Chains A and B, each alone.
Chain A
Amino acid sequence: MRRTTILQSAAVCAVATLVLAACGGGSSSSSGSSAAGGGFKVPNLTALDKLGTPEGEVSVLAWPGYVEDGSNDPKVDWVSDFEKESGCKVTVKTFGTSDEAVQLFRTGQYDTVSASGDATLRLIASGDVEPVNTNLVSNYPDIFDSLKMQPWNSVRGVPYGIPHGRGANLLMWRTDQVKPAPDSWSAVFDQAGSQKGKVTAYDSPIYIADAGLYLMATKPDLGIKNPYALDAKQLGAAVDLLKTQKANVGEYWSDYLKSAQAFKNGSTTVGTTWQVIANLAQADKAPVQVELPKEGATGWSDTWMVGAKSPHKTCAYKFIDHMVSPKTNAAIAEWWGEAPANRKACAETANKNHCATFHADDEEYFSKVHYWTTPISACLDGRTDVQCTDYAEWTKAWTEIRNS
């Protein structure tokens, strides 16, 4: 009797599996992209025309380290004073990757977001953010002109956000384990074998651009001109490089605290990082160093954006204005380790050399930094004879790499 019932349940499961398999057996013609020509439609939204009375609260989605309210370190707090002055209570949620930012912002629970260039256009195209009225941001005139009205924060002459600051993804290593000091990304690619199991990489499809950048310098015959404009063959080469790298990777990171801890305890010895992680690890007495490798690097230029459906827009504008004000922008730039967006911030940093160290106004330096950008099928490097791979393909490739 028992045997028959077990057989019955096995049959139920078999049927269920067949149903799933049958569902899977359908057509595959519906795959492919609908982003015709790589262009995208922009919903017709208008910017706020004037500020009202503060709504009492603002919900912020930010990169870790951008909005410190003293809860991590009582001395690091540029939110409490703003709350008192503006009457807007600030709640902060941090994210580890741009993909996470986009997904969280779509829940509609946030009024403003510090978005990198690989998130901004996605948020604009999906109508989650609206244009900004730069006249309502009193500090906007002081922002470096080279950051204003760029392809990642404006569309056809309409500004969609306020520049926050920029920087490069750096190579970090343990000085006691990695000798001699590396000056090239080969430390995480071709030479990664010497640190087998202790290499780290950033856990997002956008990291494919780091491989693209490395191939741009080391395999010129592939013809990569822009790490975000990879045709199918170039993407394939980057994927192969990352699959080889995976054999030496101990952990992929997207949580900056976990990455700092891994460098501190020595389970990670070399890999891509942010300056803020290096600062944290060094504050914990970890023997680590960072460098911008000779190939250049990927990086970011961040933008504060306003949610289209935000019920707290006045507070959001006031908050953004506060974030890019000279003092606060300087405090964030120093805490995080990036170049501020406000030129007056350079006079407010505790270390007077900060802006020089982080090349705040050094366009030549930033020409070596390839800001995170969403790859689209129209090649960003201007090639018209081939189709480039879009972010959906990068996503699939990344999943394949991670699961290889």
Chain B
Amino acid sequence: MGSKRALVALLTPPMLWLLVAYLGALAAIFATAFFTTDPFTNEVVRTFTTENFEALLSPTYLRIIGRTLFIAVTVTVLCIVIAVPFAYFMAQVAPRRLRHLLVAGVLVPLWASYLIKAYAWRTMVQPGGVLESTFGTTPGYGFAAVILTLTYLWLPYMILPVYAGFERLPTSHLEASADLGAKGIYTFRRVILPALLPSIAAGTVFTFSLSLGDYIAVQIVGGTLQVLGTTVLQNITLDLPFAAALGTTSVVIMVCYLIAVGRTGALDNL
């Protein structure tokens, strides 16, 4: 009896948090998206309208949504390309002592503030910055700088789950594959990749969702680039219901993505 009460006491606050603060906020955003604003004061006027969603379908916003998706996908792919060999080396090749150093090395950037890292990239890509003085050229503020910065920022979130996946992969499987005459690439394709897919999928949840919603790094290194996040920010001051409609898009994209990832079984690994 007492333990039941304790369980209720334990679970009520987090459930309230989830329902009121989390899902409640999402519901509020969705509801706001159907309101409009007063053209003079920009105040929200509570009359039902669907024009915010209509406006979303204009080429301007479809292009922004497409661009944002493209950035998120590119960053995710780059993170996978870098993280898989790196995590393989960490988990399977590196000696134990080096392994701990590498894990620490991956984790250390997470301790620094997001803003500091973004501004560091701002100074690196600026004219006369580190990139220009080292490689003789710099992409400057814009699309390439955003991809670089976001890939840097989210890479640890990809390396860690992939590393965990490699750790769980028994060395005996690799040996068996080699004994049966499989070459390196064949082993990678038929043994490593299937075992690793859920870990990679788990990592992409982070890199994809974080890139999809980012607006601060884009403001710092993006130049004139507009993505979903910056467009929401721009509209929040002027047209809150439209900003809410824009926000709904990224929620829909994320829900679709999570359902797709959930089917791979990756979420069991989080």
Contact = CB atoms under 8 A, between A and B. Distances in A.
B85 interface: no
B36 A30 contact: yes
A251 B51 CA distance: 30
B224 A252 contact: yes
B50 A23 contact: yes
Interface residues of B, number: 48
Interface residues of A, number: 58
A30 B49 contact: yes
Contacts, number: 138
Interface in A372-404: 374, 376, 390-393, 395, 399-400, 402-404
A139 interface: no
Contacts of B53: 20-21, 23-24
A16 B257 CA distance: 12
B259 A403 contact: no
A265 B249 CA distance: 37
B255 interface: yes
Contacts of B49: 26, 30-31
Interface in B32-66: 36-43, 45, 47, 49-51, 53-54, 56-57, 60-61, 63-64
A6 interface: yes
B54, B61, B236, B262 interface centre (most CB from chain A within 10 Å): B54
B56 to A, nearest CB: 6
A25 B262 CA distance: 31
Contacts of B255: 13, 16
Interface string A288-308: 000000000000000000000
Contacts of A122: 40-42
A33 interface: yes
A102 interface: yes
Contacts of B231: 399, 403
- Report whether over half of chain A's contact residues are helix, strand or loop; otherwise say mixed: helix
Given A250-B141, A250-B223, A267-B140, A403 B60 contact: yes
Given A26-B50, A391-B40, A395-B238, A267 B141 contact: yes
Contacts of A28: 51, 54
A51 to B, nearest CB: 29
B263 A5 contact: yes
Contacts of A9: 256, 259-260, 262-263
A31 B51 contact: yes
B224 A246 contact: yes
Contacts of A21: 53, 57
Contacts of A112: none
Contacts of B60: 399-400, 403-404
Contacts of A365: none
Nearest to B224: A249
Contact of A392 (B39, B61, B123, B234): B39
7 contacts: A16-B256, A24-B54, A102-B41, A258-B220, A265-B126, A265-B127, A376-B40
Interface of B: 36-43, 45, 47, 49-51, 53-54, 56-57, 60-61, 63-64, 123, 126-129, 140-141, 220, 223-224, 226, 231, 234-239, 248-249, 252, 255-256, 259-260, 262-263
The 3 closest A-B CB pairs, nearest first, are A392-B39, A24-B53, A13-B256
Given A266-B126, A399-B234, A399-B235, 4 more contacts: A102-B41, A102-B42, A103-B236, A392-B42
